[in-house]
Structure 1
């Protein structure tokens, strides 16, 4: 590994569009969601605690739990969780827009939960957690991420509700730091594109 200083921290491209723009994208989907309210699960690596929390939330709110599956991930036990089929990119965005709340250990699952201002429970990814931590820090939510190693005693109903409340409240005040990083990212990308157009590279 080399330590480099010639880098620029930019947000993921999903944050270069705002909520209303992503809502317009979601409306292009004709995916049939048979429920008016549901909990959405998007799991990038198998995590039994994540599934446990999802089931408990489904029971608490008395609404179905739907999962966007990944073709390369083997799911051991999905009792009480409905696996969706044929979810395309537009459908993916629509599901996050329509969800009542989200449980995820994915960066993009976290990103779209934040963009659509959904209450969500973020779990850590065992190997790919840096981007997750970075974006949660921008929202002052780094302390709400669960590792998946918690005991059932740790994952009390009160603790889960506290996380949902924190993630729901994060949009109540303007996030000047996030806005600054987004604007700097846009400027950096614009400058890089202009440099390429001029043939100068970057």
Structure 2
């Protein structure tokens, strides 16, 4: 590609540990390949995107699983206003995210309208969307991560972009067909995503690794402090969902090992009971510090896809839990299943009736996992190189 300037439609500034780290991994890897990436700044049109998403949720108000999930975000905002300490702690976390974001990403000029964004894209040799759950139903409704605004003559690349769900809702099928067929280079992060793309485009697309896996442990170490944040031996917990039996499992693991419990609390939602099972709950934790907490843990317990990703990168003893019930509309369990299947780590998934003893008896063969990861990384990187260069 002669024009080395690459626009990136990534969720680079949202305060989510996995989301910001995978966005940075995409940005860094494209930069390391000799291109000039910049995260597209859509601050000026974000309100319009939000309106479209709100309309989507309003149309699905009778779906109780969506209402339940979104009401938790609203409840968290209310708790912040009522609880001074909680608000102060979450502000520390927000500032840590902001420092990381400002120091790691180069952003474009602010595009003031959809038409100026379309015009500005003509300056790029390619526009890349990815990764994470950028093709969730609400984001398809928002119509930004679909790359519909990119002119036909500009190359469009989807790297490991996730639908988050296993099938497209009937009301969005035509929209999905339209935007997917415009993207010249398509790939998927989950097997369910491959099937969706095949259904609407007729194309067989490769399964590629999450951008965070494109960077080796040694490359991630360049971003992380050499000193452990926590001095004691500890179990690191990174739970997004509210499933009490999973906390009970951690408490039994603590009793079995004698290790302290370290957790990041009140992430997507406010969960008051979580404050009762932890020994340390730090808040001034940047995305780089998040990696530090995983790197130096004795065990990792998580219901997060990226919590699992970094546990694999750092060859940790880890247990992954389901965040959602299988029938939840917004369930994103499929991406965890695909990751574990690809790495032959299905035995790291803990079910509600599994005991700590039986879970501890399931060993991870780290050398074999590393070989699979290295091969997956190499094939995924080759896809990205071909997409940018050909």
TM norm structure 2: 0.44
- Residue aligning to 2:376: 181
Aligned counterparts of 2:334 and 2:257: Cα–Cα separation in 1: 31
Higher helix share: 2
Q: Which has the higher contact order (CA 8 A, sep 6+)?
A: 1
1:137-175: per-residue Cα shift (whole Å, max 9, x none)? Answer: 12212243124xx2xxx3323222124xx2xx3313365
Gaps of 5+ in 1: 196-202
Q: Determine if contact 1:23/1:97 at 8 Å carries over to the other structure.
A: no
Moved more, 106-115 or 77-86: 77-86
Matched length: 184
- Residue aligning to 2:82: none
In the TM superposition, what are the counterparts of 1:141-152 in structure 2 within 5 Å? 141-147=345-351, 150=352
Q: RMSD between aligned alpha carbons?
A: 2.1
1:35 aligns with one of 218, 231, 234: 231
1:26 aligns with 2:224: yes
Q: Determine if contact 1:55/1:80 at 8 Å carries over to the other structure.
A: yes
SS of the residue aligned with 1:83?
coil
1:134 aligns with 2:134: no
Computing the radius of gyration from Cα coordinates, the structure with the larger value is 2
1:117 aligns with one of 315, 320, 328: 315
In the TM superposition, what are the counterparts of 1:58-137 in structure 2 within 5 Å? 58-78=254-274, 79-81=276-278, 82-126=280-324, 127-137=331-341
Q: Is the alpha carbon distance of 1:130 and 1:174 closer, same or farther for their aligned partners in structure 2, counting shifts above 3 Å? A: closer
Aligned counterparts of 1:97 and 1:175: Cα–Cα separation in 2: 16
Aligned counterparts of 2:233 and 2:339: Cα–Cα separation in 1: 27
TM norm structure 1: 0.81
Task: Give the superposition deviation at 1:65.
Answer: 0.2
